[in-house]
Amino acid sequence: MERGDCLQRLMQALRCLPGVGPKSAQRMAFHLLQHDHEGARRLVERLDEALKKIRRCRSCRTLTELETCRICADPGRDRSQLCVVETPADVFAIDRATVYKGLYFVLHGRLSPLDGIGPEELGLDLLEKRLAEGEVKELILATNSTVEGEASAYYIADLARRFEISVSRIAYGVPVGGELEYLDANTLVHAFQGRRVV
């Protein structure tokens, strides 16, 4: 089958999505073109609409259509707690799966000097201003357990301590239903360091 430039460009464009390699992109392209023209049109319209309307919340930097997201605008949220996360997807995951009712601050990445990502790129100047206002009493660090995520957490913890704000780190360790013999060493180390009294 001959593939023109248009089809190749479509497959290449689909590969920008996480986890989508050449074969998956090819399957998606053929499915949309062969079986779901209406779905393809809807996808284009929704993506175009999202690119035009969605921006960062002026307070927490998560993605929203509004100037202030629904979480930051909710008067029922605990404004004394601020959870720092790497991505808007983390906000969604935490808010859906936990009983946390505080506010968030989204970094949109993590410190990585080798990649040119420093405090400015993560909006830490905005976080510092927010902490200086005095409303936040506890800062909860929920960055990923990677070298960059840990470095970001330590940097932000130092920043919070300048304002005498209590800093905590979410625990990492054994997943519910997990068996110890199958866990890697780092997970076990974090599990023991994050242990609590029962």
Measured CA to CA, the distance from residue 168 to residue 106 in angstroms comes to 16
Can you give the pLDDT at residue 2? 53
DSSP 194: T
Ordered domains of the chain (ranges, CATH): 5-53 (1.10.8.420), 76-169 (3.40.1360.10)
* Stretch (H or E) spanning 137: none
Can you give the pLDDT at residue 77? 97
Can you give the pLDDT at residue 44? 95
Can you give the pLDDT at residue 183? 72
Can you give the pLDDT at residue 145? 83
pTM of the model as a whole = 0.83
Measured CA to CA, the distance from residue 174 to residue 83 in angstroms comes to 22
Can you give the pLDDT at residue 114? 86
What's the chain's length in residues?
198
Can you give the pLDDT at residue 113? 86
Contact between 130 and 82 under an 8 Å Cβ cutoff? The reply is: yes
The stretches in the chain having pLDDT less than 50 are 1
Can you give the pLDDT at residue 193? 73
DSSP strands (E only) in the chain: 55-56, 63-64, 78-85, 102-106, 138-141, 166-169
Can you give the pLDDT at residue 96? 87
Q: How many CB atoms lie within 10 A of CB 124?
A: 20
